Structures are given as C-alpha cells and as structure tokens.
C-alpha cells in the first residue's frame, strides 16, 4: 500500500481574515501566504461560530459543532467530546506532533513542543513566529526522515495580543506620531478598567493613537507571514510538497477598535467569527481556486480525512468541502448558531442578512441584552436595530431555539452555553449586572494573561 499523504495545519490564533491581503486587505500583510494559496483552494466565507480558542480548535480538530464537543468556553472544564484528528490519524499509522497548543481540544498527539509565544523578550518585542520556526523546522526534518506519514499542527500566536512584532515590522505600516497629544483615540481604551492596564502595558509610554495599535497587529501578521515562508521553503527543500496536504486557518478573528471591544476577541461580531481557510496539496487539491460557499470550522476535519482517504466510522457534524473543490453541489448551510464564552456569555443566530445576539448574563461592555444587525445594509454591525424590528428578533430567536432543542435531542445533553456557568474562572458568575462583571474581570498585565491562558 502506498504511503498516505502527510498533513500540516497552520492553526493561527486570532487571525482576522479581513486584515489579510489574501482576502483583499489594502496592506500587504500576507504576501507569502497569498502566493502559496494560489497553489490550492481558498474559501472566501469560512466561519468559526463558537468563540474563543478552546471551542474554535475543538470544532476544527473533531469535525463537531459546540453541541457535539460540549465545549463553548475558553476555560473549559472537563473533556472535549469527540475523537480528535490526531487520535484518528494515530490509529491510521501517522506520527503526530503539536507545537504550541497544550489544551483539551488538542488531545491525542504523540509529541507536544512549546515555544515562547506570548510576552516580550529583552528587546521589548516578541519574535513569536521565529521562536516557533526554531522548533518547528527541526521537527519537520525529523518527521520527513521517517517512513510513516506525519501530522504536524502549529499554533502561531503572532496575531494574538500582545501585538509586538520585531523591527522592521513594528513600523512597517505606521509613519505618524503615536504620542500625539491631540489624538484622544486611546482614551476609551485606557479607561476600560478590565483591559486598560493590560493593553497600555505593551505600548510606548504615552501612546495616544489607536492606529498605532492596529498597525502593530498588521505588522505582527506580516512578520508571521515572512517566517511562515521559511516553513514553506523547508517543505519544498525536504521534498514534501507533492506528498503533503497543507491547511491554513484560524480559531477565530479579532476585535481591534471595533464595537468598543478593544484589541482582543470579544463579541459575536463578524470580525471575530470570520476566519481564513486554505487547502493545498498538488495533484489532489485544485490550484488557484476560490470558493464563495459558506463553511465552518466543523468542516475542516471531514475535508481532511476525505482528502487523505482515511477510512473511519465517525459521525461528523461538519461536512467535507471536497465536492465544492470538484465543482459539484454541496447543500448550502447559510444559517448558523453562534456562541461566545470568553469575557461575555452570549449566543445568537446568523443568516446572510441578519445577525441576532442574545446575552445570557450582563456583560462588562454594558451592551444591550438583545442586538440585531442587518448585514446587507450594515455589514460592520454598527447599528443595533432590535427595537425597530421586533418581529425579526422573534423570528430569529425561534430559529435559534428550535436548533438548540434539535441538537440537545440529538446529543442527549443540555446546550453547553447553558451549563458552563463558571466560564470566567473567578467563581462569581453568573453576573447579576454589567457593573459587577466590569469590576470582576480584570487582566492587569501580560503575565496575568499568560496565566489565564494556561488555565
């Protein structure tokens, strides 16, 4: 029997799709990924419907939705349900390595390798992607020298806060004075008690310009892209291109200065829900193809096992995207249930026209309990029209509640958004008021954020 194709996944944390030049962003943030993606298929409308990291990766690596994994919260307690991609591939003779993701959703790898993916080094900057390369490229060489196929998963952290790209990427997209005293755009950020100190601690003293911070996010993506080019070159130099399926995606996007949810992944707005998705495998995946159909992270694992021709008896919630790559029909799935359980506990329903967001407890951004956005007229979701269209709110709530009841009946479990009440990890939830949430959820420093992430 011929050797199975290898698998490499770039599971990039917090990569906002609309800040990639691959998807039309006006800054050239991803030139190497752009070029590489032309050798495969790029999906234009992939969604990560459950925010943040843990449920996002759980869905990506099991082919299940949040009901199937029973996972919605960052600080998930207990087992992530479902067989993981690593577990399935190990059963099929694969050697598996995970770089940078020791989490319940990343269960089942033979080997785990850490790298410095968070705070600044002695220069005050954070070369996260180079730190990853320093361990990933030697591991790739080791895997390439073995007889059995391999699965290498890499969690790049550069787009995740704190955004600290090294020179020259620090200034590549910014040529103004970040401490201009007449610029007041960072005042609301500084005054947002839960995250203000954390955000300001990684910025130049006296930073006043929000555009400087956004330029750091974009610079971090461009820096990561340049480092990823080294991995692309290593794949080619090791003779792996023709025998490896490469997938590029993300667990969720990022809020920058959007919706008063500053520089993290808060909220069920599209800036956090929409992610990149690229498949490349010469001779297996078509070249230079873009597909507009809606898809979700739960479709990633079914597509991978389809492309790798892995036999299994698993029942996925997602569906293979291979028919679309072959120019065939695939039943559309334009509506989706969405959840968030990071710093706010909410769920909702998204259609191509409407977005409904319902708070399950008061949030620290003092948002209204019900939000409704017309995505056709208001794609940036700046105008809440819930009061104007109560009949649309009622209709979408009914759609959402019927979906929840259906999935609860199919799984035999209560929806996890209702059962994970200790989501904030501080023992005070559910919150009784937005003020209580605001006073309770305090990050403070990069070190505190690292500790929270490790939990």
Residue 258's domain is classified under what CATH number?
3.40.720.10
The answer to the question of residue 378 being in a domain is yes
Q: Please name the residue ranges forming H helices in 92-246.
A: 128-144, 187-190, 193-200, 210-237
What pLDDT is recorded for position 445?
57
* 415-434 average pLDDT score: 87
Domain count, the chain: 2
- Interatomic CA distance for residues 222 and 228, integer angstroms: 10
State pTM to two decimals. Answer: 0.95
Contact status, residue 212 vs residue 171, Cβ threshold 8 Å = no
pLDDT band at 454 (very low <50, low <70, confident <90, very high): low
Q: Report whether 69 contacts 58 (CB < 8 A).
A: yes
- Residues near 249 by Cβ (< 8 Å), separated by ≥ 6? 9, 10, 11, 12, 46, 60, 275, 276, 277, 278, 297, 300
Give the residue-averaged pLDDT of 350-354. 98
Contacts of 346 (CB under 8 A, 6+ apart): 268, 339, 340, 357, 358, 359, 360, 363
Last residue of a domain, one of 300, 325, 350: 325
pLDDT in the model for residue 124: 86
Q: Per-residue pLDDT for 2 more than 80? A: no
Whether 153 has a pLDDT exceeding 80, the answer reads yes
Q: Are 51 and 268 in contact (CB under 8 A)?
A: yes
Mean predicted confidence (pLDDT) in 247-271: 95
Mean pLDDT of the chain: 94
Q: Where are the alpha helices (DSSP H) in 77-209?
A: 85-91, 128-144, 187-190, 193-200
Is the residue at 28 inside a domain?
Answer: yes
Cα–Cα distances in angstroms (integers) from residue 255 to residues 41, 290, 313, 380, 397, in the given order:
27, 26, 39, 12, 25
User: Which of the pair, 391 or 104, is modelled with greater confidence?
Assistant: 391
For residue 427, name the pLDDT band (cuts at 50, 70, 90).
Answer: confident
Choose the final residue of a domain: 306, 325, 344. Answer: 325
Residues 367, 411: one domain? yes
In this structure, is residue 30 part of a structural domain?
yes
State the CB neighbour count (10 A cutoff) for residue 441.
20
Q: Give dist(CA 150, CA 153) in Å, integer.
A: 10
Mean of pLDDT values over 339-351:
95
Q: What is the largest CA-CA distance in the chain?
A: 69
Asked whether residue 41 is domain-assigned, the answer is: yes
94: Cβ contacts below 8 Å, ≥ 6 apart: 4, 7, 148, 149, 150, 151
One domain for residues 252 and 356: no
52 inside domain: yes
* pLDDT given at position 357: 98
Specify whether 384 is located in the same domain as 272: no
Q: Looking at the structure, do residues 67 and 86 belong to the same domain, yes or no? A: yes
Question: Which residues form the domain of 127?
Answer: 6-325
The pLDDT score that the predictor gives to residue 449 is 52
Whether residue 340 is found in the same domain as residue 321: no
pLDDT at 263: 92
Residue 239 above 80 pLDDT?
Answer: yes
Q: Same domain for 219 and 87? A: yes
* 286 and 414 within one domain: no
Report if residue 331 sits inside a domain.
Answer: no
Tell whether the model's pLDDT for residue 448 goes beyond 60: no
pLDDT band, very low/low/confident/very high, at 1 (cuts 50, 70, 90): very low
Identify the three-state secondary structure at position 410. Answer: helix
User: Is the pLDDT score of 342 beyond 90?
Assistant: no
pLDDT at 120: 83
Name the burial class of residue 379, with classes exposed (0-12), middle (13-18) and buried (19+) by CB atoms within 10 angstroms of its CB: exposed
Please tell me whether the peptide bond between 194 and the residue prior to it is cis, using omega within 30 degrees of 0: no
Mean of pLDDT values over 111-136: 91
User: Are both 176 and 310 inside the same structural domain?
Assistant: yes
Q: Of 108, 100, 175, 97, which is closest to residue 143 (Cα–Cα)?
A: 97
Q: Residue 446: its pLDDT value, please?
A: 53
Are residue 289 and residue 376 in the same domain, yes or no?
A: no
49-87: per-residue pLDDT in tens?
Answer: 999 999 999 999 999 999 999 999 988 888 899 999 999
Same domain, 143 and 228: yes
Least confident of 84-93, 117-126, 317-326, 356-365: 117-126
pLDDT tens-digit readout, 194-209 = 999 989 988 999 999 9
- Determine the average pLDDT of the residues in 124-147: 96
pLDDT value for 450:
52
354 and 321: one domain?
A: no
**Which CATH number is 373's domain given?**
3.30.1120.10
Q: Could you tell me if 249 and 276 are in contact, meaning their C-beta atoms sit under 8 angstroms apart?
A: yes
Is 104 within a domain? yes
Provide the angle, in degrees to the nearest 10, between the axes of the packed helices 128-144 and 210-237.
20
Mean pLDDT within 425-438: 87
Task: Map tokens 């992270």 to a residue.
Answer: 297
1 in a structural domain: no
pLDDT at residue number 107: 93
Q: Extract the tokens encoding 275.
A: 């992610």
pLDDT band at 119 (very low <50, low <70, confident <90, very high): confident
Question: What confidence tens digit (pLDDT) does each residue in 389-422 have?
Answer: 999 999 999 999 999 999 999 999 999 999 988 8
Cis peptide before 149 (omega within 30 of 0): no
Separation between Cα atoms, residue 417 and residue 213, nearest integer Å: 32
Is the model's pLDDT at 291 over the cut of 50?
Answer: yes
Which of 325, 349, 364 lies at the terminal end of a domain, its last residue? 325
Residues 397, 312 share a domain: no
Label residue 85 exposed, middle or buried (CB < 10 Å: 0-12, 13-18, 19+).
buried
Taking residues 7-26, what's their average pLDDT? 97
Residue 33 pLDDT: 98
């Amino acid at each position: 029997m011929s050797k199975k194709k290898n698998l490499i996944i770039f599971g990039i944390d917090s990569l906002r799709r609309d800040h990639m030049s691959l998807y039309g962003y006006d800054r050239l943030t991803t030139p190497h990924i752009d070029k590489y993606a032309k050798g495969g298929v790029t999906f234009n409308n992939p969604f990560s419907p459950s925010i943040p990291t843990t449920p996002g990766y759980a869905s990506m690596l099991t082919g299940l939705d949040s009901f199937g994994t029973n996972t919605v919260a960052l600080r998930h307690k207990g087992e992530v349900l479902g067989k993981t991609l690593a577990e399935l591939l190990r059963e099929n003779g694969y050697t598996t390595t995970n770089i940078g993701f020791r989490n319940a959703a990343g269960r089942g790898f033979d080997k785990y390798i850490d790298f410095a993916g968070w705070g600044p080094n002695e220069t005050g900057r954070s070369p996260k992607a180079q730190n990853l390369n320093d361990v990933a490229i030697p591991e790739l060489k080791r895997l390439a020298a073995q007889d059995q196929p391999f699965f290498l998963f890499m969690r790049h952290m550069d787009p995740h806060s704190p955004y600290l790209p090294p020179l020259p990427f620090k200034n590549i997209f910014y040529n103004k004075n970040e401490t201009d005293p007449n610029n007041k755009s960072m005042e609301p950020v500084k005054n947002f008690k839960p995250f203000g100190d954390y955000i300001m601690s990684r910025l130049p003293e006296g930073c006043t310009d929000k555009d400087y911070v956004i330029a750091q996010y974009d610079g971090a993506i461009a820096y990561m892209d340049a480092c990823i080019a080294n991995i692309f070159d290593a794949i080619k130099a090791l003779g792996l291109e023709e025998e490896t399926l490469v997938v590029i995606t993300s667990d969720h996007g990022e809020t920058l200065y959007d919706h008063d949810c500053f520089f993290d992944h808060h909220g069920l707005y599209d800036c956090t829900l929409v992610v990149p998705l690229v498949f490349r495998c010469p001779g297996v995946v078509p070249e230079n193809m873009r597909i507009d159909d809606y898809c979700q992270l739960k479709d990633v694992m079914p597509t991978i096992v389809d492309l790798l021709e892995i036999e299994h008896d698993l029942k996925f919630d997602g569906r293979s995207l291979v028919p679309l790559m072959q120019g065939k029909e695939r039943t559309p799935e334009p509506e989706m249930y969405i959840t968030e359980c990071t710093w706010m506990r909410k769920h909702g329903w998204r259609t191509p026209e409407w977005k409904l967001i319902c708070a399950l407890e008061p949030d620290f951004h003092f948002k209204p309990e019900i939000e409704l956005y017309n995505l056709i007229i208001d794609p940036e979701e700046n105008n809440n029209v819930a009061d104007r269209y109560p009949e649309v709110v009622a209709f979408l709530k009914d759609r959402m509640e019927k979906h929840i009841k259906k999935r609860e009946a199919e799984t035999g479990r209560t929806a996890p958004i209702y059962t994970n009440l200790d989501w904030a990890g501080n023992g005070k939830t559910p919150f009784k008021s937005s003020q209580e949430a605001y006073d309770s959820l305090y990050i403070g420093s990069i070190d505190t954020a690292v500790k929270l992430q490790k939990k």
